[in-house]
Amino acid sequence: KASEFAATLDAIEARYGVDRWIILAIWGIETSYGGARDRWDVIRSLATLAQARHRHPYFRNELINALLILQQRHIARNAMLGSWAGAMGQPQFMPSSFLDHAVDFSGDGRRDIWTNVPDVLASIANFLQKAGWTAGLSQGFEVIVPAGFDHRRSRGSFGDWSARGLRRADGAAFPTAGQAILFFPSGARGPAFLVTDNFVTIKRYNNSDVYALAVSHLAD
**Contact between residue 199 and residue 212 where contact means Cβ atoms under 8 Å apart:** yes
Measuring CA to CA, which residue among 206, 163, 212 is closest to residue 183?
Answer: 212
Q: Which of 4, 30, 62, 142 is catalytic?
A: 30
Measuring CA to CA, which residue among 103, 129, 133 is closest to residue 8?
Answer: 103
**Contact between residue 113 and residue 120 where contact means Cβ atoms under 8 Å apart:** yes
Residues with Cβ within 8 Å of residue 123, at least 6 apart in sequence: 91, 93, 101, 102, 103, 105, 111, 113
Distance in angstroms (rounded) separating the CA atoms of residues 200 and 138: 11
Distance in angstroms (rounded) separating the CA atoms of residues 166 and 149: 9
Residues paired with 130 in a beta bridge: none
Omega into 57 within 30° of 0, i.e. cis? Answer: yes
Q: Is 13 annotated as catalytic?
A: no
Positions annotated as catalytic residues are 30
